[in-house]
Amino acid sequence: MKKVITYGTFDLLHYGHINLLRRAKEQGDYLIVALSTDEFNWNEKQKKCYFEYEKRKQLLEAIRYVDLVIPENTWNQKTSDIKEFKVDKFIMGDDWAGKFDFIETETRAEVIYLPRTPEISTTQIKRDLEAKKI
């Protein structure tokens, strides 16, 4: 069985997220999503989510491509997650291209950067909603 892992916040879940998860699942048999916790998002990214962690986790668990959701608590847990779950492929959007290449030397996982859906992002949704405020 080929295991795949990806990481993200997945706030304001949209079709770009679904596209990424579908294409990640196509890379293997079992998809693990490491979901950024609220604390990690705030402490490391200074980002506040619209939906709290448990709600975002419920949404991801309802998606047929996702087999397991685990918490992402630190930037540095990726190699230990890959080793613990015996992951074969590490998948991220191509906006992260090159940032995680070190994983191939520290683990047995192949690193793959998938193209993002260009016309949609959570950041864009938040900007559009803010612009529509009266």
User: Which residue is catalytic, options 2, 45, 83, 126?
Assistant: 45
Tokens encoding 117:
């859906």
Respond yes or no: is residue 25 known to be catalytic. no
Say how far apart CA 52 and CA 13 lie, in whole Å: 12
Q: How many CB atoms are located within 10 Å of the residue 41 CB?
A: 18
Is there a contact between 112 and 30 (Cβ–Cβ < 8 Å)? no
CB neighbour burial string for 18-32, b if at least 16 within 10 angstroms, e if fewer: ebbbebbbebbebbb
Respond yes or no: is residue 45 known to be catalytic. yes
Q: How many CB atoms are located within 10 Å of the residue 118 CB?
A: 7
User: Which residue is catalytic, options 2, 3, 47, 86?
Assistant: 47
Residues catalogued as catalytic: 45, 47
